[in-house]
Structure 1
C-alpha cells in the first residue's frame, strides 16, 4: 500500500484542528453611512419605492459598518446568527422611516435589513446584539441632520452643482467631525452626492474623528439631485 507523504502527515493535524469559520478580531470603529435617495434613484438602474410608498426626501440610513483602524473591515462574521424580524418588532416603524430600501424589485425592506445584519451587524455582536445594532443606527440618525446642515449652508437638493469642499465643511460645522463623501453617477454620467459616512466609536454611541484617511471619490463639484 502506498504510504502518505511526509508533507501530508505534517498537514493533517493542522487540517483537523482548523476552525470551520474564522473569528474576527475586535473592530476599532464603525462607519455610519447615510445615503441621499435622489442619487440612488437618479441612475441608469433607477429605483423602486417600498410598499409603504415614496420615502421622505431626506438622508436615510445605508448601514452601520464595523471597521479596523488599518482600513480593512470584517464581514459575514456569524452565519449562524440569522436575521430575526421579531427581535426588532418595536423598531419597525422607525426603520421604515429612516432605513428604507429603494432597491428593485420593491419589498417590505426586510431583505435590506437582513443583508446589513448578516454582512455587518454580526461582526459587531460582541458589543451589539441585533436589537441594539438597529437601535444604535436609529439613535445616530436622530443625532445627525445632514439635510438641514447643508441647507443652512445654501446647499439644496435642486439638481445644482456644489463644491465638495463646501459640503464637507457644512457637515463638519454641524457635527463637529469630518465626513467622508461618496458619489455615484446619474444616467448621463454626471457625478452626484450619494453617501456621507461618519465615524462612530466601537460602542456605536458617539461620533469620533475617523482613525483612517477619509478619501472621497467625489470630484471638486458634484450634483445634488432632487428627490
Structure 2
C-alpha cells in the first residue's frame, strides 16, 4: 500500500497546572495510507445514552499502543497503528466525567467525521473508528464541533510529557514504575491523579490522567487502578 507522511501539529496551550511552562508543541509525524476512510456514524446503545449528567471532572485516557497491537483490540486500526507506525502511548480519548459512576455519553447525534478532521488526528488517535466513537460518545457532551473537541484533546496531550516505557528484559514493570515515569517528567502531576489500567492477563493497557474542570491535574475520582507494588506485564515497542 502506497503511503505518505502526514504531519500534524500537536499543539496549543493548555492549563494543566504543571510547574513551569508547558512543553513547547512539536511537529509530530506518522505514516498514513492514501486511502484513509472515515468511519460511519455510530448507533449508540440505548443503555449508554446519558444526556443529563453534569460534568464534574475530565480524564485523558492514554492507550499503550504496543498492547493494543499485540491483543488486536477492535478499537485499533491494524494498518495504521500496528504496521505502518510504532507508537507508544496514543490518545484513547478525552472524557467528561460525572459526579458518580454514570458519565455523560452520546449527548446528541452526529454525522460521520470529515476526511480532513480524521486525517488531522490520526497521529494522535490512530483509528478512524475510534475517532468517530470518541467524538460521539464523549465529545458531543461538551463541545459544539468535533474539530473543537479534538483541538482540546491535542492541547491536553501536548501539555504532558508522556514517556515511552522501557520494561525489564522479562517484559515487566511495577505499576509504581509506570506512574514514576509520568511523575518524573511532569512536576504538576501526583500519583493519586494517575490510574494505571491492566487487563485480565495483568498486562498494561492504559494510563488515565485525571483532571479537574479547568483541565488541571486532580485526584482520580474512581480510584487509581493497579497498586504501585504490583508487577505487571508491559508489551515493549517494536
TM-score by length of 2: 0.65
1-side partners of 2:103 and 2:159: how far apart? 25
Q: Specify every segment of 5 or more residues in structure 2 that has no aligned partner in the other structure, as ranges.
A: 1-48
Name the residue aligned to 1:135.
151
Aligned: 1:225 with 2:235 = yes
Q: Would you say the 8 A contact 2:64–2:206 is kept in 1?
A: yes
- The one-character-per-residue Cα deviations of 1:72-121 (angstroms, maximum 9, x if unpaired) are 31111112x334326xx2x54441211102xxxxxxx2x22111111111
With over 3 angstroms needed to count, the CA separation of the structure-2 counterparts of 1:83 and 1:124, relative to structure 1, is farther
2-side partners of 1:37 and 1:66: how far apart? 23
Name the residue aligned to 1:198.
209
With over 3 angstroms needed to count, the CA separation of the structure-2 counterparts of 1:222 and 1:28, relative to structure 1, is same
Moved over 6 A (4+): none
Aligned residue for 2:86, secondary structure, equals coil
- The one-character-per-residue Cα deviations of 1:167-219 (angstroms, maximum 9, x if unpaired) are 2133233223231111125xxx4x2111011123335xx33213514231578
Match of 1:57 among 71, 87, 99: 87
Name the residue aligned to 1:96.
122
Q: CA deviation at 1:123?
A: 1.1
Aligned: 1:170 with 2:170 = no
Q: Would you say the 8 A contact 2:50–2:103 is kept in 1?
A: no
1-side partners of 2:125 and 2:107: how far apart? 22
Q: Would you say the 8 A contact 1:69–1:211 is kept in 2?
A: no
Q: Would you say the 8 A contact 1:83–1:117 is kept in 2?
A: no
Name the residue aligned to 1:18.
none
Structure of higher CA gyration radius: 1
Match of 2:225 among 213, 216, 222: 216
Q: CA deviation at 1:22?
A: 6.7
Aligned 1:1-227 pairs, distance under 5 A: 23-43=51-71, 48-50=77-79, 53-79=83-109, 81-85=110-114, 89=116, 92-101=118-127, 109=128, 111-125=129-143, 129-148=145-164, 150=165, 155-156=166-167, 160-175=171-186, 176-177=188-189, 178-185=193-200, 189=201, 191-202=202-213, 206-210=215-219, 212-217=221-226, 220-227=230-237
Aligned residue for 1:50, secondary structure, equals helix
Q: Specify every segment of 5 or more residues in structure 1 that has no aligned partner in the other structure, as ranges.
A: 1-20, 102-108
With over 3 angstroms needed to count, the CA separation of the structure-2 counterparts of 1:66 and 1:158, relative to structure 1, is farther
Q: CA deviation at 1:138?
A: 1.1
1-side partners of 2:225 and 2:158: how far apart? 24
Aligned residues: 182
With over 3 angstroms needed to count, the CA separation of the structure-2 counterparts of 1:43 and 1:158, relative to structure 1, is farther
Q: Would you say the 8 A contact 1:184–1:192 is kept in 2?
A: yes
TM-score by length of 1: 0.68
RMSD: 2.9
With over 3 angstroms needed to count, the CA separation of the structure-2 counterparts of 1:51 and 1:181, relative to structure 1, is closer
With over 3 angstroms needed to count, the CA separation of the structure-2 counterparts of 1:116 and 1:45, relative to structure 1, is closer
